[in-house]
Amino acid sequence: MQVFNVQGMSCGHCVKAITQALQAKDPAASVRVDLAAGEVGVESALTTEQVIAAITEEGYDAKLA
């Protein structure tokens, strides 16, 4: 599982938006969002760059932890 630091997440809508964005690109992706830590864990066939791009497209700042 890759872990990303994501800035700007604050609520359930953020969790849903990020999860849906990643699963739209890889329906089999497993996504774990920790709002308190500002982290998103992703287990997916997507590359690191693809995950960051999907999160960024939703309006959040993401980088590999």
The residue extents of the domains of the chain are 2-64
pLDDT of residue 53: 98
Q: What is the pLDDT along the chain (65 residues), one digit of tens a residue?
A: 999 999 999 999 999 999 999 999 999 999 999 999 999 999 999 999 999 999 999 999 999 99
Query: DSSP for the chain?
Result: -EEEEEES--SHHHHHHHHHHHHHH-TT-EEEEETTTTEEEEESSS-HHHHHHHHHHTT-EEEE-
Which CATH number, 3.50.50.60, 3.20.20.80, 3.30.70.100, 3.30.70.1230, labels domain 2-64? 3.30.70.100
Q: Do residues 41 and 2 make contact, with C-beta atoms less than 8 angstroms apart?
A: yes
- Cα 21 from Cα 23, distance rounded (Å): 6
- Cα 32 from Cα 43, distance rounded (Å): 9
Q: What is the pTM of this model?
A: 0.93
